[in-house]
């Protein structure tokens, strides 16, 4: 009864009646959640009964379910030519099973990042996403920001980063989002980013190591290392080392490393089985763009596993994720042949929101088995 008095409903006639300022909504997969417009929060449990519910049955004849650009589900009545965000099946709900479905049961390859975070309140959480001005990084950053997190877009190109910030604020003007300079091809820039972030004196709950290059011709960075290796792996490795103390102070915290299924198609050992350092940053004569990318992704996974082993006792977990094969992003911009291949494959690939879901899922869900890569396995 204390909960009812708090909601002002101790004398209501119906136990399913919502308090003033509350709204009942549904997710794409049929789960009912409740929005509190007064406090700008959402929750799965009914504010009065504490029950969880699902909708039952199919949509009425002539109705169709759609999803808007913000990931919000709405319904189209083709017969009466109208749209609504209220599910017409809400009058026919059933109580949820007390055993909450696992992440593996609820989400699949078609799930988007917005659906992963549906109903979550991330207020007070601080998230850093590298390479967040476009592609998977942008969708990841946007999804976190639209659910209340303070998100920092760590990008090399500040013009594009600020444009990305404006796009997010255009969807929700209350979003806490900002851009900071980070060039992973320059270790001094990584140092400056870490120093600037620490100067903010804020926590760091999620670090998404997303930025990457692909298909580049052989070049050396100003640090004298092959570019693909430094941007995709070494720059992130250094960034995590510099922010490790902040992550530990912010525990529980998480590092998400965006890797790739391509890690399977390479090796970094010599013929005797020992680590061959020359393969990590090869000379021009030994360089092949695809192999360089694959090796960097293998390094991502090995790093994530070891990071988890070392820091999980201190409350910092790490996961490596495979977002999906051949997604149409700007990653292929290094060579026109790759651009052509990605363009031809585009009708059969996942969307950026679909790719971002793996970063969101691993950033939000406690995985007792540790830093095993999502939808991929690491070399041992």
Active site amino acids: 293
Write the secondary structure of the chain as one string of H (helix), E (strand) and C (coil).
CHHHHHHCCCCCCCCCCCCCCEEEEECCCCEEEEEECCCCEEECCCCCCCCCEEECCCCCCCEEEEECCCCCEEEEECCCCEEECCCCCCCCEEECCCCCCCHHHHCCCCCCHHHHCCCCCCCCCEEEEECCCCHHHHHHHHHHHCCCCEEEEEECCHHHHHHHHHHHHHHCCCCEEEEEECCCCCHHHHHHHHHHHHHCCCCCCEEEECCCCCCCCCCECCCCCEHHHHHHHHHHHHHHHHHHHHHHHCCCEEEEEECCHHHHCCCCECCCCCECHHHCCCCHHHCCHHHHHHHHHHHHHHHHHHHHHHHHHHCEEEEEECCCCCCCCHHHHHCHHHHHHHHHHHHHCCCHHHHHHHHHHHHHCCCCCCCCCECCCCCC
């Amino acid at each position: 009864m204390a909960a009812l008095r708090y909601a002002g409903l101790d004398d209501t006639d119906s136990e399913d009646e919502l308090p003033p300022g509350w709204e009942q909504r549904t997710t794409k997969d049929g789960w009912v959640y409740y929005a509190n417009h007064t406090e700008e929060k959402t929750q799965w449990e009914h504010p009065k009964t504490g029950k969880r519910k699902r909708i039952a049955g199919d949509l009425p004849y002539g109705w169709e379910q759609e999803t808007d650009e913000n990931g919000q589900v709405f319904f189209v009545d083709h017969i009466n030519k109208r749209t609504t965000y209220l599910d017409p099946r809400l009058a026919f709900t059933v109580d949820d099973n007390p055993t909450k479905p696992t992440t593996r049961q609820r989400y699949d390859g078609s799930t988007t990042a917005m659906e992963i975070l549906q109903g979550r309140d991330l207020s007070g959480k601080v998230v850093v996403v590298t390479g967040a001005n476009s592609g998977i990084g942008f969708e990841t950053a946007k999804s976190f920001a639209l659910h209340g997190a303070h998100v920092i877009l760590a990008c090399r190109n500040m013009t594009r980063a600020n444009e990305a910030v404006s796009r997010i604020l255009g969807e929700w003007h209350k979003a806490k989002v900002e851009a900071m300079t980070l060039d992973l091809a320059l270790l001094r820039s990584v140092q400056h980013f870490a120093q600037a972030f620490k100067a903010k004196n804020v926590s760091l709950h999620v670090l998404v190591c997303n930025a990457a290059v692909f298909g580049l011709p052989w070049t050396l960075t100003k640090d004298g290392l092959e570019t693909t290796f430094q941007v995709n792996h070494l720059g992130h490795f250094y960034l995590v080392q510099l922010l490790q103390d902040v992550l530990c102070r912010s525990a529980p915290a998480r590092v998400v490393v965006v890797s790739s299924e391509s890690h399977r198609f390479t090796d970094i050992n010599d013929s005797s089985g020992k680590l061959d350092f020359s393969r990590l940053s090869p000379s021009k004569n030994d360089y092949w763009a695809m192999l360089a990318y694959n090796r960097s992704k293998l390094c991502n996974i090995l790093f994530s596993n070891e990071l988890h082993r070392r820091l999980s006792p201190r409350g910092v977990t790490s996961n490596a994720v495979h977002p999906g094969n051949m997604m149409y992003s700007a990653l292929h911009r290094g060579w026109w042949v790759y651009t052509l291949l990605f363009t031809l494959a585009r009708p059969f690939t996942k969307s950026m929101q679909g790719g971002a879901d793996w970063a969101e899922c691993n950033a939000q869900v406690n995985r007792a088995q540790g830093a095993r890569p999502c939808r991929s396995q690491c070399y041992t």
